Structures are given as C-alpha cells and as structure tokens.
C-alpha cells in the first residue's frame, strides 16, 4: 500500500514526465513506430518543405501510417486515388495528424492536392 506522500510524489513525477515523453513521440523520425498510449500507434510520415519524409515506405496490410503536417505555415491535402484503395485527408492544418489504415495490398501513390510535386510511394504487403 502506498502512503499518501509517495502517491503524490509519483503523480508529480508523472505530470513532469508526460509532456517530455509526448514531445519525444512527436519528434520521432518517419518510419519509426510511435509510442502507444501517448499517440495513435503507427508509422509517422512528415510533410515538411513541400515534401513527404520519407518519400517511400513499406507497410503490412492493416498497418496505420500517420501523416503529419510539420510545416508551420502551409496547408497540405494528402490523398490516394486507386482502383483498389482511396483516401482523402481533406485540408490538413499545420500540426495536424491524419491516420491512414492501408487495408489493401499493392503500391499506392500518396499525393498532395495543394503541392503537386509532393509524392509518397507506399508498398503494402
């Protein structure tokens, strides 16, 4: 049984650590799974400088890719149009995170409806 003082100390440590842990999760490199519980689990793809980072990746069927607008002043609009799979994020404000669950195998091009040179190739196994 925890004493009241010990419980308060643990709670204050947790309150101190959570923002730091969240910042670490948000700052992970693209392609590295995000820590579950702090954010939606998945593979992070950054949109920054009118580019996707990384610009290609492989995932398993059913896996989630989280597309993050890391530009501080630009809207993005990620979408996929394919005969077997489609997705449309709508306009993504700076800082927004949009999950995409790839339910079909194949090779898909993720494009930005605002910046036509932005391309991400996703191979789904």
Q: What is the CATH code of the structural domain delimited by 4-124?
A: 2.60.40.420
Per-residue pLDDT for 112 more than 60? yes
Q: Could you tell me which of 56, 75, 62 has the C-alpha nearest to residue 125?
A: 62
Q: Could you tell me which of 102, 98, 101 has the C-alpha nearest to residue 112?
A: 98
Q: Report, as an integer, the average pLDDT of 80-84.
A: 94
Model pTM score? 0.67
pLDDT in tens, 43-61: 999 999 999 999 999 999 9
Instruction: List the structure tokens of 9.
Output: 């100390």
For the chain, what are the domain ranges? 4-124
Beta strands in the chain (DSSP E): 43-48, 51-53, 56-59, 64-69, 78-81, 86-88, 97-101, 106-112, 119-124
Indicate the average pLDDT of the chain: 79
């Amino acid at each position: 049984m925890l004493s009241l003082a010990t419980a308060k100390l643990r709670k204050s440590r947790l309150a101190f650590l959570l923002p730091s842990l969240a910042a670490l999760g948000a700052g992970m490199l693209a392609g590295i799974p995000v820590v579950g519980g702090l954010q939606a689990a998945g593979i992070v793809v950054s949109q920054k400088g009118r580019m996707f980072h990384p610009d290609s990746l492989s995932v398993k069927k059913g896996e989630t890719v989280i597309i993050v607008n890391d530009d501080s002043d630009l809207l993005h609009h990620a979408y996929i149009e394919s005969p077997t799979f489609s997705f449309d994020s709508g306009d993504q404000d700076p800082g927004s995170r949009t999950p995409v669950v790839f339910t079909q195998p194949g090779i898909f091009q993720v494009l930005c409806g605002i910046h036509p040179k932005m391309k991400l190739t996703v191979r789904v196994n």
